[in-house]
Structure 1
Amino acid sequence: MNQAIIDAKKALVSEIAEKMKDAESTVVVEYRGLTVAEMTELRRNLRAEDVEFKVYKNAMTQRAVESIGADGLKEALTGPNALAFGKDAVAPARVLAKFAKKHEALVLKSGIVEGKVVDVETIQKLSTLPNKEGMISMFLGCLQSPIIKFACAVKAVAESKEGSAEAAE
C-alpha cells in the first residue's frame, strides 16, 4: 500500500480519536433506510444543538476506539453507522432519540458519555434530560425554593401580627 494512503488513514484515525476524546458524548447510530431529505433534516437538527454528525468507515472508527481504550464500542460498529459528537453530554442523545421516534429507520446503537462506553438504555435515559442550561436552572430553582418559602412564612407572620395589632387598637 502506498505510504501516502497509510499516512492519510492514520491521520483519519487520530482525528476520530481526538473528536471522541474532546466530546462530552459520542453516540453511534445506524442510518440505513433514511432518505436524503431525512438525513438533511437530522443534520440540521443536530447542528442547531451544536452537535457534529459524521459518517466514517467502521474500520477507521474501530481503530480510533481501540486507541482511546473504549473497546466496548467496537461491537456496535457494524453496518452503515454515523457518529454524533456533542460538547453537551445530553444534546446528541436527546436530538437523535427524538428523531428516532419519528423515523424508525434511525437506530440508536451505543455511545461514549464522559469517557465511559454506554448502552442504548443509558442513551435513552439521557435523552429525557434537559440540556446543561436547563439542568442548571432546575438546580438553582431547587436552591432558591427553601429561601422563598422562608420569606413567604416570615411575611405571613408579619402580616398576621400587623392585623392583630390593628384589631387590638
Structure 2
Amino acid sequence: MLTRAQKEALVKSLREKFEEAQAVFVTSFKGLTANESNELRKKVREAGGEYRVVKNTLLRIASSGTPAEPLQQFIEGPTGIALAYKDPVALAKVLTEFAKEHEALILRGAALQGKPVEAKGIEALAKLPPREVLLAQLLGLLQAPPARLVQLLANVLRSFLYVLKAIEEKKRAEGGQ
C-alpha cells in the first residue's frame, strides 16, 4: 500500500511524463504472465517509450489537465499505459504486434497530442510508415518541382544547341559543294 506522500509523488511524476510524451496508449493486461510483461516492457523501451501499470484513480488524477486527459474514457479494469516519447507510430506498431501475438494484451485507446484515439485508430497508426520514410517522401515531393524546372530548362538549351549544330553542319555541307 502506498502512502499519501508516495501517491502524490507518483501523480507528480506521471504529470511530468504526460507533458513530455507525444502519445499515451492505454492497455488492458489481464492474463499476461510476468515473462510476457517483461518482454512487452523491453519492446516498448526499444521503441523509445515506457510501459507502466498504474492504479486507475491515480491515473485519472495525474492525467487531468494534461495532454493525456482524453485517455480517461479508456480507463477501466487493470490498466497499463505506454508512453511514447519519440515516435508514436513505432510504439503503436510494437503494441499492435504484441497484442496480435498475446491475446491477453488489449489496446483500449490512446491520447495522441491531446486528442483521443480509439483502438482501431491505433491499428491505423501502426500501419503508417516510419517517421523517416514519411519525411523522405515529403522531401521528394518538395524537391520534384524544382528538379523538373531544371530539367525543362536544360532540355530547352539542349534543343537550341542541336539546332545550332544542324545549322553548322548544313552550312558546312553547302560550303563544301
Give the TM-score of the pair, scaled to structure 1: 0.81
Structure 1 residues 155 and 101: CA distance shift in structure 2, 3 A = farther
Cα deviation code 1:1-52 (max 9, x no counterpart): 9xx8111111111211221121111111112233444333322222222111
Once the two structures are superposed, the pairs formed by residues 43-122 of structure 1 within 5 Å of their partners are 43-68=41-66, 72-88=70-86, 89-122=88-121
RMSD: 2.6
Do the aligned partners of 1:52 and 1:85 also contact (CA within 8 Å) in 2? yes
Cα deviation code 1:77-114 (max 9, x no counterpart): 22222111112343322321233233333211111111
Helix, strand or coil for the counterpart of 2:128?
coil
Greater shift in the superposed pair: 138-147 or 127-136: 127-136
Quote the Cα distance in structure 2 between the aligned partners of 1:95 and 1:112. 17
Equivalent residue for 2:6, pick from 5, 8, 14: 8
Do the aligned partners of 2:70 and 2:114 also contact (CA within 8 Å) in 1? no
Cα deviation code 1:125-148 (max 9, x no counterpart): 322223433332222111001122
The one-letter code matched in structure 2 to 1:122 is G
Quote the Cα distance in structure 2 between the aligned partners of 1:141 and 1:100. 34
Quote the Cα distance in structure 2 between the aligned partners of 1:27 and 1:69. 12
Q: Following TM superposition, by how much is the alpha carbon of 1:72 offset from its aligned partner in structure 2, in angstroms?
A: 4.2
Q: Which runs of 5+ in 2 are unaligned?
A: 170-177
Helix, strand or coil for the counterpart of 1:129?
coil
Do the aligned partners of 2:19 and 2:67 also contact (CA within 8 Å) in 1? no
The one-letter code matched in structure 2 to 1:155 is A
Do the aligned partners of 2:18 and 2:68 also contact (CA within 8 Å) in 1? no
Structure 1 residues 33 and 159: CA distance shift in structure 2, 3 A = farther
Report what 1:138 is aligned to: 137
Report what 2:15 is aligned to: 17
Do the aligned partners of 2:67 and 2:111 also contact (CA within 8 Å) in 1? no
Give the TM-score of the pair, scaled to structure 2: 0.77
